[in-house]
Structure 1
Amino acid sequence: MALAGAMSAMSFRPLDAAKSSTVGALAGSAEQAPLFPQAPLTPQLFALLPTGSIKASGWLLRQLQIQASGLGGHLDEFWPIVGPDSGWSGGKGESWEDGPYFLDGLVPLAWQLDSPQLKAKAMRFINWTLDHPWENGMFGPRSNDDWWPRMVMLKVLTQYHELTVDPRVMPLMTRYFHYQLQAMPARPLRDWGRMRWQDELVSVLWLYQHTHDPKLLELAQLLKQQGYDWQGDFARFRFTQKVDADALRKQAGGTDAFMEDIGLQVHGVNNAQALKASPVWSVVSGNATDRDAIHHQLLMLDTYHGLPNGMFSADEHLAGRSPSQGTELCTVVETMFSLELALAITGDAALGDRLERIAFNALPAALTDDMWTHQYNQQPNQVECSLHRQPWTTDGPESNLFGLEPNFRCCTANFHQGWPKFANSLWMATADQGLAAMSYAPCMVKTVVRDVPVVVEQVSDYPFRQTVTITIKPQRALAFPLRLRMPAWSQDTHITVNGKSIKAADGFTTIERTWAPGDVVEVRFNAGVKIEQGYSGALSFSRGALVYVLPIKENWVIWRKRGPTNDWQVYPGSRWNLGIEPDVPVVVSEHPIGEKPFAGVTPAVQLALQGRYVPAWKAEEGNAEPVPAKVEPSNDEPVQAITLVPYAGAKLRITAFPSLS
């Protein structure tokens, strides 16, 4: 959809970049070598390249530009939460998590696009934060001293330093961490900070690798000691059904107690951020069990709450496997960030498969195609977006509306990190001084390999197409290993270097050679249509990294005006209650990729197959009933020819179909 904000987006006046002196002085930095953990920290197989090393191109660049033209580039101009009165820029307005959340996506987006206007917006917050530390080492708004929002702002500052090498960043972080080490014994982590301690640990280890300050390792131990034990929680995983919030409240002793303890354990965003806890801690502990614990976490979430789009249900607490349950957009982007870090630390290619499935399906599905509105909750089986309290665990009736801040405002500020951080994680450095393609999307990499500048250009329409062309351009001929992640769904992957075939391996294919400027690697994946069985035996269809769905005709109705955008309800205009035979033949057709890559009006790939209507499967309270395990198709109607499209292009859709077996 391109409905929500096109009518007025062009009326905004960009900020004057000249008003921020820092923007001009710190427009960029020379290529930096990636940082790998050194003793006493534990080595890891891969390392993220410094933020700014990778620039999106092709369809991914268009996606970032759409974000900048939508809420990502204009939110501060009309949404007071991150407007001029934000506590994170010296005002008396909102002073908790929303300002840092917004910056966590705005900073990488601004430098990805090299936009003076967006950089100026970011610098309003960053300059104030860096120039107004507290006397005791604390930083940020003085109206609260909560550890949690500072954890987010620290992630912002690490990215900003990698982009600019601003000399103010590390001294501020050092003073703050020293202060925190002294203060936390008397004022320990609580609620959100206790659950999300691992997000601060990422920043602590980042600074340690730059300064080797031993106090930072003391702080790492203290964070682990006071933080919630996610690894132990999943080792004895208790939440195997859709959360009954009322029962858990009684068990906890009331609503307040529920949100101080057990309610936080089953909170979707907390679980998404927790996926990084054990891998990141393993860098300190050196324990392989810690490093690999993410696989058990994902297994538990998949087994009891998994959905066909690669996510787990959480609306806003864990909600079981029915594809009519929802997933919060914050949960989507935080899961992506956890997987990006875990992929570097563990080197497990399967985490890359998961990351792509979420990035190419769940992320764009929760946004209109122009990125002027978003959903709080998305559903794989989403047949209506309207004001209903069902089937959510604890969320309100606005939950699956498309709008400015449906249900709660956190996702309005936080969703912006999804695409820019994904772009910044496409390539990584390897521990044996090489480079690795971790996810596939068009981009250009500028980095240093074995002290030699190297440019890598990746041209592709993946995931809509199956071919990736990689051109290696070292400043001079250079020997180093090149690793290519091999998606598990690709059979008989074909790889050539300068036209000569290379045998593909499982997990990662490693090519060891001396690379001359202009060497070309071509990878041709082989993605067949895969029919997966899920909840109640329901059938879902995927091909490569894309999930496919039945699009339902959409009737968009403005519910209320929200400045330059709107809140929308969406009603179905076509039948959707179809069942499909498990052995149904499927025909694939490819079509041009539109300017909005995931737009439903220009689907780049379609699947043609047949199904039959199932009259007993109906909607209740605007939601598809859970997929029935036993179905009877209509004998009064003929077999229906149906067309499936990529998941994100259909804002009303059926992803999981009753099996007619």
Structure 2
Amino acid sequence: MQKALIRWVIGVFGVASLFFLAFLSASHRTAPLSDSDIQVVDRPPLNERNNYYVSNRPPLASQAFIPLPIGSIEPRGWLRTMLELQRDGLNGHLEEISAWLVKKDNAWLNPDGRGEHGWEEVPYWLRGYSALAYVLHDSAMIREATFWLHAVMRSQRADGYLGPEANRYASDGKPDLWPNMVMLECLQSYYSFSRDPRVLSCMQRYFHWELQLPDSLFLTHYWEKSRGGDNLYSVLWLYNYTGDTSLLRLAEKIHRHTANWEQPGTLPNWHNVNIAQCFREPATYFQFSHDSTDLHFTYADFQLIRQLYGQVPGGMFGADEDARPGHTGPQQAIETCGMVEQMFSDEILLALTGDPFWADHAEDVAFNSYPAALMPDMRALRYLTAPDMISSDWHNHAPGVENEGPFFQMNPFSHRCCQHNHGMGWPYYAASLWMATPDNGLAALLYNASRVKARVGKGDTVVLEELTHYPFDSQIRFLLHLSHPQQFPLYLRIPAWCGRPVVKLNGQALPVQAATGKYIRIYRTWREGDMLTLELPMELQVHRWRAQRNSISVNYGPLTFSLGIRERIRTESPALHVVPDARWQPNADTLRWRAYNIEPASPWNIALVSNPSGSLAWVKIKSYPYLEKGNPFTPEHAPIRIFALGQTVPGWQVDSTGLCGPLPQSPLQLQTPVDTVELIPMGAARLRIAVFPEAITHP
């Protein structure tokens, strides 16, 4: 009855208004330039199928973008630096620390699946570690990842089941499929990189085992039931490679048994990581169902959690374990796991729908939330990070946050799930910078310095170099390398925040209009050395959060800015203060790996001074030298800083749980001195105030 009602509403009000013009290919054609056909389009045409990269096969709905084989994109610039820091940091060396990654008697390595440490930790770690290896083409890491993955495939039993035996018969005698869902994604990345045919046969046999499970044994536990969409994602991926129609029956079975993420005005549960990864399940199933109601609920779930708990900058929402009524302010935090799962969801939905909204959102999380969850050298992380966060220490901040324990401390030994799961954030992001299109073209989707090699047009290979310091600079240049002239379309995403993009081809401006939040499609005969320049002019924007007592935040292009709070950092043994379920190896080096407590060494209770019109009373944007090999997400090396006027708010203090106290109601009339304050990118601020009270000055 509910679905019938929703279909009626869609019929009355129009699918386009509800689904962000999803899956429409109507375009605004501009005048051609020379031999170039230039259009502004909502997304690529969906009535074609790429000839060179595997995408959705019938009867699945066409997808707008097709991920390239992992390793096709060579990240450069600051993203390369982040990946190398990750390799040299916690994710690349977690085998030295984590008790779950000990190889002796490990259930993931034993052919019969018996042994210890057989739940989510190994696949969580391996997902990010292996993707990092492929993106960097690091031979030592590739060998290590392959060792684990080959062992998993060798563990497959005669009936098709693979992995730890303890998950096959959980405490209630029913299978727990959740850990294998993550391992399947590891196998998908491995196949994308290696084309090892054993992956396809292994996954096919495993899914046939799932298909024969009685309904009474299928997706019955909390985590697997919530996260069945991950299983569904892998099933449809395999169908596209094999054409095995029994997988479509399994897809329907998975959707039927997964928690219902299609409930108007509510969610099946309010756990932050579940929401960040599971809200995409209806859209994933839409590929099979072709029912626009399914697609609608992915958008509706996304908007619901942000309407209730996400009235803050940085792309995430307040759910410091679970979203809780009454805990909606910017001092409420999100798990690091939630951030990387959200980025992954955005990347999947971008490929599926083509909606540039998901690319904008992936950048929002990647630039403003995720970097601050780790130390600048990526050798320690914290479980929880908030938009307004005035300490990062080992103290217990419950009930201000839901869990009791040292969940704010940067610690390489603690925070069990995030410790293993954080590693997929940057590698998956790097693998999504470019994607193929149904019309045998290429799309630049997430902007970063890079080099991509792909087949286009009639099957020839093209190499594009992307030269930029984005998001710290507005200019992006694309240099094309071809052995001979080739015809193919090239798509450029225009972010929703950019109102006046400028595109030049070999120095000549292209006529583009009304491109904000869309794509510019350039179809032409490309030649060696062609240079395409995209300018995304950035402007200062003040965002008002009426749900947060009329407070404000400051954006410049895709970057949100935070108060530049000076940090007082103290180190200690990472074994001293840990969450209850932390485990580490007895010989883990507590001198090489340290925990960090960060406290403010300058005032944080600052209001920004505005004019009665709502604009900042005075502002100066200053660019600093860009360090080619440095981490730009640090207070010391941030390439852009904003200077504005601020006033201390005496009544805004730390609350009884050690969190930043509730925001005062804005606008404020303050008697404290007006002074210049420095704002740095939110992603560079481990301590931060990104949601500010507003003080009004009068002439």
Confirm or deny: 8 A CA contact 2:550 2:666 kept in the other structure.
no
Note closer, same or farther for the CA distance 1:497–1:34 as it changes in structure 2 (3 Å cut): same
| Alignment pair present for 1:125 and 2:148 | yes
| Alignment pair present for 1:565 and 2:584 | no
Of residues 139-148 and 371-380 in structure 1, the stretch that sits farther from structure 2 once superposed is 139-148
> Structure 1 residue 231: deviation in Å?
2.1
Note closer, same or farther for the CA distance 1:119–1:184 as it changes in structure 2 (3 Å cut): farther
- Corresponding residue number in structure 2 for 1:312: 317
> Structure 1 residue 209: deviation in Å?
0.7
Of residues 49-58 and 553-562 in structure 1, the stretch that sits farther from structure 2 once superposed is 553-562
- Corresponding residue number in structure 1 for 2:405: 397
CA distance in 2 between counterparts of 1:66 and 1:60 reads 10
CA distance in 2 between counterparts of 1:472 and 1:443 reads 12
> Structure 1 residue 458: deviation in Å?
0.8
**Aligned-residue RMSD, C-alpha:** 1.7
- 1:539-618 to 2 correspondence within 5 Å? 539-562=552-575, 563=589, 564-580=592-608, 581=610, 582-584=614-616, 585-594=618-627, 595-618=630-653
> Structure 1 residue 634: deviation in Å?
4.4
2:467 aligned counterpart, secondary structure: strand
Residue deviations 1:353-405, cap 9 Å, x none?
11101011211110101000011000111111221223544222311111124
Note closer, same or farther for the CA distance 1:327–1:67 as it changes in structure 2 (3 Å cut): same
- Corresponding residue number in structure 2 for 1:286: 290
1:456 aligned counterpart, secondary structure: strand
Of 249, 266, 272, 1:237 maps to: 266
Confirm or deny: 8 A CA contact 2:397 2:659 kept in the other structure.
no
- Corresponding residue number in structure 1 for 2:171: none
Q: Report the TM-score when normalising by structure 1.
A: 0.88
CA distance in 1 between counterparts of 2:464 and 2:297 reads 33
Stretches of structure 2 that go unaligned for 5 or more consecutive residues are: 1-49, 169-175, 576-588
Of residues 35-44 and 607-616 in structure 1, the stretch that sits farther from structure 2 once superposed is 35-44
2:641 aligned counterpart, secondary structure: strand
> Structure 1 residue 294: deviation in Å?
2.7
> Structure 1 residue 220: deviation in Å?
0.3
Residue deviations 1:80-138, cap 9 Å, x none?
21222332223733110010001110111011112122112212211211112122110
- 1:139-150 to 2 correspondence within 5 Å? 139-145=162-168, 146-150=176-180
- Corresponding residue number in structure 1 for 2:6: none
| Alignment pair present for 1:68 and 2:87 | yes
- 1:176-325 to 2 correspondence within 5 Å? 176-190=206-220, 191-232=222-263, 235-237=264-266, 265-306=269-310, 307-319=312-324, 320-325=327-332
1:88 aligned counterpart, secondary structure: coil
What code does the residue aligned with 2:250 have? L
Confirm or deny: 8 A CA contact 1:445 1:456 kept in the other structure.
yes
What code does the residue aligned with 1:37 have? N
- Corresponding residue number in structure 2 for 1:537: 550
Residue deviations 1:557-614, cap 9 Å, x none?
2243353312222111111111122421321111122312212211110001001111
> Structure 1 residue 413: deviation in Å?
0.4
Of 153, 157, 160, 1:137 maps to: 160
Residue deviations 1:1-57, cap 9 Å, x none?
xxxxxxxxxxxxxxxxxxxxxxxxxxxxxx993222121111122121122221111
CA distance in 2 between counterparts of 1:318 and 1:360 reads 23
CA distance in 2 between counterparts of 1:503 and 1:187 reads 59
Of 367, 383, 388, 1:381 maps to: 388
2:217 aligned counterpart, secondary structure: coil
- Corresponding residue number in structure 1 for 2:197: 167
| Alignment pair present for 1:58 and 2:89 | no
| Alignment pair present for 1:629 and 2:665 | yes
The total of aligned residue pairs comes to 602
CA distance in 2 between counterparts of 1:153 and 1:337 reads 15
What code does the residue aligned with 1:237 have? T
| Alignment pair present for 1:87 and 2:107 | yes
CA distance in 1 between counterparts of 2:132 and 2:62 reads 30
CA distance in 2 between counterparts of 1:32 and 1:117 reads 33
CA distance in 2 between counterparts of 1:392 and 1:164 reads 47
CA distance in 2 between counterparts of 1:166 and 1:217 reads 23
Stretches of structure 1 that go unaligned for 5 or more consecutive residues are: 1-30, 239-261
Confirm or deny: 8 A CA contact 1:614 1:633 kept in the other structure.
no
Note closer, same or farther for the CA distance 1:177–1:383 as it changes in structure 2 (3 Å cut): same
Of 410, 415, 427, 2:422 maps to: 415
> Structure 1 residue 630: deviation in Å?
4.4
CA distance in 2 between counterparts of 1:100 and 1:619 reads 39
What code does the residue aligned with 1:543 have? Y
CA distance in 2 between counterparts of 1:446 and 1:177 reads 33
What code does the residue aligned with 1:429 have? A
CA distance in 2 between counterparts of 1:394 and 1:112 reads 36
What code does the residue aligned with 1:152 have? V
- Corresponding residue number in structure 2 for 1:501: 509
Name segments (4+ residues, structure 1) moved above 4 Å: 630-634
| Alignment pair present for 1:442 and 2:449 | yes
CA distance in 1 between counterparts of 2:439 and 2:52 reads 13
Of residues 44-53 and 176-185 in structure 1, the stretch that sits farther from structure 2 once superposed is 44-53
Of 39, 49, 57, 1:38 maps to: 57
What code does the residue aligned with 1:164 have? S
Confirm or deny: 8 A CA contact 1:385 1:622 kept in the other structure.
no
Note closer, same or farther for the CA distance 1:630–1:597 as it changes in structure 2 (3 Å cut): closer
Confirm or deny: 8 A CA contact 1:317 1:393 kept in the other structure.
no
Confirm or deny: 8 A CA contact 2:265 2:304 kept in the other structure.
no
What code does the residue aligned with 2:486 have? L
> Structure 1 residue 300: deviation in Å?
1.1
Of residues 180-189 and 469-478 in structure 1, the stretch that sits farther from structure 2 once superposed is 469-478
What code does the residue aligned with 1:122 have? A
2:436 aligned counterpart, secondary structure: strand
- Corresponding residue number in structure 2 for 1:251: none
2:282 aligned counterpart, secondary structure: helix
> Structure 1 residue 62: deviation in Å?
1.1
Of 96, 106, 109, 2:132 maps to: 109
1:87 aligned counterpart, secondary structure: coil
Q: Report the TM-score when normalising by structure 2.
A: 0.84
1:627 aligned counterpart, secondary structure: coil
CA distance in 2 between counterparts of 1:32 and 1:66 reads 37
CA distance in 1 between counterparts of 2:534 and 2:139 reads 36
Of 486, 490, 498, 1:478 maps to: 486
- Corresponding residue number in structure 2 for 1:659: 694
2:480 aligned counterpart, secondary structure: strand
CA distance in 1 between counterparts of 2:240 and 2:215 reads 25
- Corresponding residue number in structure 1 for 2:16: none
2:561 aligned counterpart, secondary structure: strand
1:231 aligned counterpart, secondary structure: coil
Of Structure 1 and Structure 2, the greater helix share is in 1
Of residues 151-160 and 380-389 in structure 1, the stretch that sits farther from structure 2 once superposed is 380-389
| Alignment pair present for 1:96 and 2:119 | yes
CA distance in 2 between counterparts of 1:292 and 1:54 reads 32
